[in-house]
Amino acid sequence: MHDSIGDTSLEIAVAKDTQDKRALEVEQCECPPGYTGTSCEDCAEGYERIPGGRYLGTCVPRRQPPQPVCSAVGSLSTQPQWDGRCQCKQNVIGSTCDRCAPESYSISKDHPGGCLRCWCSGVTAVCESSHWRRSRVELDYSRGDEDRLEAVSSDQRSPFKSSSQAMITDSAIVLEDFSGVPTGTQLYWSLPQKFLGDKVTSYGGKFRYTFRFTSSSSGISTFGGADADVILRGNNIQLEYTHQQHVEPNVVPLTEAGWRRSPDGQAITREIFLMALADLEAVLIKISCTSDCASSSLLTVNMETADAYGTGELALDVEHCQCPPGYQGTSCE
């Protein structure tokens, strides 16, 4: 024995003319605000249903997510505290945390304190963001540069200098003879004068370089290691930067983040970094291959700075200080 269902149909009413009889039993209600449908069974646009009411619940205005009240850049949260006040970052003021505090400048989400403190070489505390734009100091052998770089160790007191002279090709400077390098000595390319001197306007920019190396016939070469990738030396300060895997390779930020002071390896402050930039005496790039290495080449180097003739993005992290008599420079350096 089994059951079966034959033809089944369900009549509904629609607004268009179907040539069938009128659906007089279907009500057409005048709905109050927030409701729609022939029987007000649906919530109108902008409304949502909540429990309660006689039948299907109650339609109420849809709850909107709270709109940000506090600055996303200068506050710790876009929503105010229980007392209605925004909680500003360390160097930020204003009812919505949208302005730098006195003696601060360059509000940005990238700054832990919201704004940077004026450094100004310690002679004033009044500054603002520079209106200068980024430019570059460059070394590019493919464009005909002829700077002959020395290969040296990072030892400040008695640095080793390779007796082998690097060769300049049409695209790079190349060091091929490592026979006289003492075991365990890391060599660095020492950059020319145009990368040295007062470089405080490089703060907030990038330092980029490209290189290549080839291993010897043994197929074994020393690459990387614990030695710093880039070294800055100025005002009796030596700073070292070692690339991290998650950071874009061979691009070094010219801020205090990631730099360590030598020889103690301690993290540095912005003030220490700017002091070194104020009078750079050496910029060193690691020759990444020195053991069982056939050759190591440096192709390009560029160091972002800022000046009145720059055509890049605004260098907002460069301070422009109101210097007292006897001082000059963007940071009164």
Residues in the chain: 333
Per-residue pLDDT of the chain (333 residues; tens, 9 = 90+): 556 666 777 777 777 777 778 878 888 999 999 999 999 999 999 999 999 888 889 999 988 777 678 999 999 999 888 888 999 999 999 999 999 999 999 999 999 999 999 999 999 999 999 999 999 999 999 898 889 998 888 887 777 877 778 888 889 998 887 777 777 788 899 999 999 999 999 999 999 999 887 876 554 444 445 688 999 999 999 999 998 755 566 899 999 999 999 989 999 999 999 999 999 999 999 987 655 677 888 999 999 999 999 999 999 999 999 999 999 999 999
Residues 6+ apart with CB under 8 A from 193: none
The residues, any chain, with a CB within 8 Å of residue 9's CB and separated by 6 or more, are: none
The structure tokens 């750079």 sit at: 280
Look at residue 247 in the predicted model and tell me its pLDDT.
53
pTM for this prediction? 0.75
Judged by phi (left if over 0) then psi (alpha if -120 to 50, else beta), residue 293 lies in beta
Domains of the chain and CATH, by start: 133-320 (2.60.120)
